[in-house]
Chains A and B, each alone.
Chain A
Amino acid sequence: MSDAIVVERLVKRFPALIPGRAARIAVDGLDLRVQEGRVTGLLGPNGSGKTTTINVLLGLTKPTSGRATVFGRDVWRESLGIRSRVAYVPAERTVFDWMQVGKFIGGVTSLSKRWDSEYADRLIRRWEIDKRASMGQLSTGARTRVLLVAALARRPDILLLDEPTTGLDPAATDDALSELIGFAADGTTIVLVTHHIEVVDRICDRVTIMSSGHALLTSDLEDMRSSWAVIDVTGPSRPEEMHQWEEVTSATRRDEYTRLIVHANPAAVVDRLRLLGAEIASVHPLTLREVYLGVTPRAADDDLA
């Protein structure tokens, strides 16, 4: 399977508006590969560079250095060709507040070569979208549905979705996600930026966790589920030494035990610990949430929903 998106050593630095202040580095040496037809989740704390990365991929923001391509085309120089194959749902829902929903959708239609009117009408009916309402009158959830229609009915090869379930009730979230699963089954490449870990768990087959503008971890979710574990060790242990082990992501001493987060081959780590005389209090596989919190030490719980 070839790569739909390739990002190599990408840097985006925003110059300081006030002289003397330091420039803000939004993306700092990011490497990312998204294979065609796969659903990739981008997770990370606020300010970790996820949205800036999406903006770079859409040609909205010029990379400071590094390389980013979509279907082999440079995202800055050949942006127009890319955008005819990519559809986007922005995280910010307050777009075109002054425009009627029907006119907004009509406007997107006029700029889309592969617009699927029948599918759009079906979604509009099913999601009870009032085409005569002004975008500014809609609730957050209704705006999300309108933006999803505008993206999905373009029948893109790549969907870039920034928080695509914001404001949706559980039933509407299920419905939207089932549409996305349908697109993925048809071979559409999807990149999903979200703080909703359960959404990633449900529809993504690969995840990249970002922090401070770079990727901390990229893994298939299946591999993650089978290879990541938390091991609590009692008795004498030297966390500093364990941290150096290749399989260990972190080793932290707690009151009565030492907690190891392991990203590969937990059984081998357990054997090694036993050989060193440590007692294994518990071993259990990590959920995506635990992995996320494990690799992003500064992540606060309120970053996650």
Chain B
Amino acid sequence: MMLKRIIWHDLRWRFLAAAILVGMTAGVIVLGLRLPPRADYVHHLDLAWFNLPGASAVLLPAALIIGSPGTLVRPSRDVAYVMTLPVSRERWVISHIAASFAALALLVIACDILFVVAGWTLDSVLRVGSLTVRSLLLLAAAGAWIPLMVALTALVRRPVIAVPLAFVLLSFTRGNRFRLDIPAEPHAAMLASLDPWAFADPRAWNGSIPVASIATATGMALTGILVALFLIRRRDM
């Protein structure tokens, strides 16, 4: 209870910023949809949101913002007090990562609800199963960046430095992660098979499982967790 409260107290403004970013984008996407009656709604959402480029443009920044917890790295009286209670540093780090992931999940669920409501008003065919699977993949792809972001924040010790630094580092990677077309246009290009976001694209699942991308994302998340634990275990509170 204590951990949840202190983590939420730290997270709330970052969550709000991410929610505004994601909510506005998702809102603009559904407002821009012009569908023929009885159209396959999920297919249109694939073009606008789930295929790349698409949701990575907002969900990746959201994950980076949410996954930069100040309380984890900034010495504070509140944290020092909590750490005099029987709370391990491992639990402290994992709780931050879990809370960030939960916050991101809330945003993805909110987007799904928005898409469902929009689909209903557009009189389109909504396949809830497909929508759910696609959203879970998106959540996993964005969530994999959270531990890495927590580790980066633990390394540089300031969220205000960690977030811009993460954007700069990401801009050097291949794949146009921050591009979002409104209205959506079909793109043939896909990410490299090793890219940690590639498995979130529904097209990557045509005929085979994108193992390389899943392995990269999993490795990235585990590395982030281990580095964050290593840094926080050694640090004075």
Contact = CB atoms under 8 A, between A and B. Distances in A.
Interface of A: 55, 58-62, 80, 83-84, 86, 88, 90, 92, 94-96, 98-99, 103, 106-108, 110-113
Contacts of A83: 84-87
B2 A92 contact: no
Interface in B159-214: none
Contacts of A59: 83
Interface in B80-97: 80-81, 83-88
A110 B1 contact: yes
B83 A96 contact: no
Contact of A60 (B78, B80, B88, B234): B80
Contacts of A112: 85-86
Chain B, interface residues (CB within 8 Å), range = 10 to 19
Interface string B1-20: 11001100100000000000
15 contacts: A55-B80, A58-B83, A58-B84, A60-B84, A60-B237, A84-B86, A90-B77, A94-B77, A96-B6, A103-B1, A106-B1, A107-B1, A108-B2, A111-B2, A111-B85
Interface of B: 1-2, 5-6, 9, 77-78, 80-81, 83-88, 234, 236-237
Contacts of A111: 2, 85-87
A193 B42 CA distance: 65
Contacts of B6: 96
A92 B77 contact: yes
A103 B234 CA distance: 30
A135 B200 CA distance: 45
Nearest first, the 7 A-B pairs at minimum CB distance are A107-B2, A84-B86, A110-B1, A88-B84, A60-B237, A111-B85, A61-B236
Nearest to B236: A61
Contacts of B80: 55, 60, 90
Contacts of B78: 95-96
